C-alpha cells in the first residue's frame, strides 16, 4: 500500500488540483492520502476530507511529513508538496519503475507550471540535468520523494531542526544506506509561487549557499534565512 503525505497550511487554492490529480490516477492500486495540516484558517481541512483524505496535525514541512508518516498504513511513503500537479498515470508508472529498479528512495524531475521557456531551461540546467548526470553521487529530492517506510523510520524521519533544504538532507541520509534513483517515467509539475514572491536570484543564492553549507559544514540549523511556511499570496 502507498501512503501519500502532504504537509499543508492554508492551501485551499492549490490543494484541490493535487487531490483531483490523485483522484484521476487510474490503475494505480491501493493508496491513502494523509494531509498533515499546520493549523489552516481556510478550507484546507474541509477540502482534504471531501476528497477522502485523512487529516492529522502538522507543523513546518519536516514536522508535518513526520507526523503524517506516523499515521501511514502503507509500506511506501510518497511525500508531496501541496502545490504540485501530477500527470495522468503518475502513480502507476512511478511505482512500477521504483520496484523494477529495486529502489529504496526516489526523487523526480521538476517541470515549472509556466508557458515560458525560461523557467523550464533554468530548472533543467540547475536541477534536473545535474541530478540525472550525478544520480549515484549527488542524491537530492524536493517537492516529491518516494521512500520505503522502514527506511524513513530507521533514520528517524526528517530532521526537524534543519531550517532549509531538509528534504535534500533527508534523501542524502537514506541514500547512504539504501538505493537512490531519479524516476525516469514520471515528472512532477511545480508552482512558481515561491520564486515569484522571492525572485529567481534570491532563491538561487539562498539554495546555493545552503548546498555549500551542507557540503562543507553540514545542514543549516540556525535561522540564517527568514522562512514562512506557505505565505505566498501571488497566483501563477
C-alpha cell of residue 170: 533527508
Cβ proximity of 6 and 18 under 8 Å: yes
Q: What is the pLDDT of residue 225?
A: 60
Q: Supply φ then ψ for residue 130, to 5 degrees.
A: -60, -40
* pTM value surpassing 0.95: no
What is the CATH code for 2-192?
Answer: 3.90.550.10
Q: What is the pLDDT of residue 116?
A: 94
Q: What is the pLDDT of residue 227?
A: 52
**DSSP structural state of residue 161:** T
> Domain segments of the chain: what residues?
2-192
The Cα–Cα gap between 112 and 223 comes to 28
> pLDDT tens per residue, the chain (236 residues)?
999 999 999 999 999 999 999 999 966 568 999 999 999 999 999 999 999 999 999 999 999 999 999 999 999 999 999 999 999 999 999 999 999 999 999 999 999 999 999 999 999 999 999 999 999 888 999 999 999 999 999 999 999 999 889 999 999 999 999 999 999 999 999 999 989 888 888 888 888 888 888 888 888 888 766 555 665 444 43
Cβ proximity of 22 and 4 under 8 Å: yes
User: Largest alpha-carbon pair distance within the chain?
Assistant: 46
Q: What is the pLDDT of residue 232?
A: 46
Amino acid at each position: 500500500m502507498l501512503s501519500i503525505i502532504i504537509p499543508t497550511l492554508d492551501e485551499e487554492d492549490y490543494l484541490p488540483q493535487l487531490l483531483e490529480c490523485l483522484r484521476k490516477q487510474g490503475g494505480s492500486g491501493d493508496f491513502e492520502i494523509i494531509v498533515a495540516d499546520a493549523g489552516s484558517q481556510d478550507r484546507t481541512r474541509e477540502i482534504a476530507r471531501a476528497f477522502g483524505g485523512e487529516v492529522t496535525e502538522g507543523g513546518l514541512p519536516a514536522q508535518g511529513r513526520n507526523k503524517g508518516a506516523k499515521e501511514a498504513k502503507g509500506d511506501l511513503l510518497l511525500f508531496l508538496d501541496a502545490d504540485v500537479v501530477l500527470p495522468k498515470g503518475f502513480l502507476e508508472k512511478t511505482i512500477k519503475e521504483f520496484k523494477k529498479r529495486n529502489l529504496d528512495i526516489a526523487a523526480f524531475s521538476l517541470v515549472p507550471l509556466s508557458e515560458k521557456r525560461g523557467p523550464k531551461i533554468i530548472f533543467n540546467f540547475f536541477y534536473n540535468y545535474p541530478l540525472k548526470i550525478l544520480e549515484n553521487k549527488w542524491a537530492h529530492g524536493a517537492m516529491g520523494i518516494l521512500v520505503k517506510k522502514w527506511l524513513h523510520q530507521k533514520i528517524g524521519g526528517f530532521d526537524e531542526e534543519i531550517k532549509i533544504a531538509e528534504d535534500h538532507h533527508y534523501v542524502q541520509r537514506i541514500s547512504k544506506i539504501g538505493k537512490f534513483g531519479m524516476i525516469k517515467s514520471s515528472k512532477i509539475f511545480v508552482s512558481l509561487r515561491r520564486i515569484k514572491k522571492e525572485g529567481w536570484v534570491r532563491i538561487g543564492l539562498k539554495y546555493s549557499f545552503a548546498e555549500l553549507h551542507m557540503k562543507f559544514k553540514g545542514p543549516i540549523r540556525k535561522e540564517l534565512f527568514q522562512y514562512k511556511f506557505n505565505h505566498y499570496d501571488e497566483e501563477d
